[in-house]
């Protein structure tokens, strides 16, 4: 093990500082991602007002960058929450963030824009977790997006439709 650590350290010394810092950030992010995958599901009780499935056929999904599962818009009192379902799954990643938009869901990297409003870092990349939204207006949320902020990569998105 000591030999491996020495070899890794030697290799990192050959990489320019900015690149090695980004590499360390990516490694740290992946370790955190793996730790929280096994945490208990986190659910919020309230009125489900919109729901949608991640589009597994979106152009931006590939073998390395992908996700699946259902997402809900939940109202509790006068607050709105975005909730992933227990069936939510995403590929491992270092820096996944949740975004919402009043527009339709984007489907690839080149569609990302200022219309995507950041909500939070992904709390649980597999299973149920909820995220408090700043807006109280359900019309402000018509889609959600999972985006790897560090590498600017599309991971998945869903259009959220009103529940009847």
The domains found in the chain, sorted by start residue, are 47-162 (2.60.40.200)
Average pLDDT for 95-114: 96
Cα(155)–Cα(44) distance, rounded to whole angstroms? 24
In the block, tokens 């998105």 appear at: 157
Q: Which residue, 135, 17, 119, 20, is CA-closest to 75?
A: 135
Average pLDDT for 52-70: 96
Determine which helix (DSSP H) or strand (DSSP E) holds 29, and give its type and residue range.
helix 17-36
Confidence of residue 164 (pLDDT cuts 50, 70, 90): confident
Distances (CA, A) of 119 to 40, 56, 97, 108, 144: 21, 22, 7, 19, 10
- Asked if 70 contacts 85 with a C-beta cutoff of 8 angstroms, the reply is yes
Q: Is 125 left (phi over 0), alpha (psi -120 to 50) or beta?
A: alpha
Confidence of residue 9 (pLDDT cuts 50, 70, 90): very low
Considering the entire predicted model, what is its pTM? 0.80
Cα(126)–Cα(118) distance, rounded to whole angstroms? 19
What pLDDT does 143 receive? 98
What pLDDT does 5 receive? 46
Per residue in 30-52, pLDDT (tens digit) is 566 665 566 788 899 999 999 99
Cα(37)–Cα(14) distance, rounded to whole angstroms? 33
Residue 14 has pLDDT above 90, yes or no: no
Per residue in 71-92, pLDDT (tens digit) is 999 999 999 999 999 999 999 9
* Average predicted confidence (pLDDT) for the chain: 87
Cα(150)–Cα(11) distance, rounded to whole angstroms? 22
What pLDDT does 26 receive? 67
């Amino acid at each position: 093990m000591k030999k491996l650590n020495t070899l890794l350290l030697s290799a990192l010394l050959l990489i320019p500082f900015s690149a090695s810092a980004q590499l360390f950030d990516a490694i740290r992010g992946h370790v955190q991602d793996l730790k929280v995958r096994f945490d208990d599901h986190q659910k919020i009780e309230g009125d489900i007002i919109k729901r949608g499935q991640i589009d597994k056929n979106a152009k931006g999904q590939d073998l390395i960058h992908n996700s699946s599962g259902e997402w809900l818009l939940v109202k509790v009192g006068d607050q709105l929450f975005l909730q992933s379902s227990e069936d939510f799954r995403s590929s491992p990643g270092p820096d996944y963030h949740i975004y919402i938009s009043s527009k339709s869901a984007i489907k690839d990297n080149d569609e990302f824009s200022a219309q995507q409003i950041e909500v939070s870092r992904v709390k649980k990349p597999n299973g149920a977790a909820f995220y408090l939204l700043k807006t109280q207006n359900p019309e402000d949320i018509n889609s959600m997006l999972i985006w790897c902020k560090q590498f600017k990569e599309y991971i998945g998105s869903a259009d959220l439709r009103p529940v009847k």
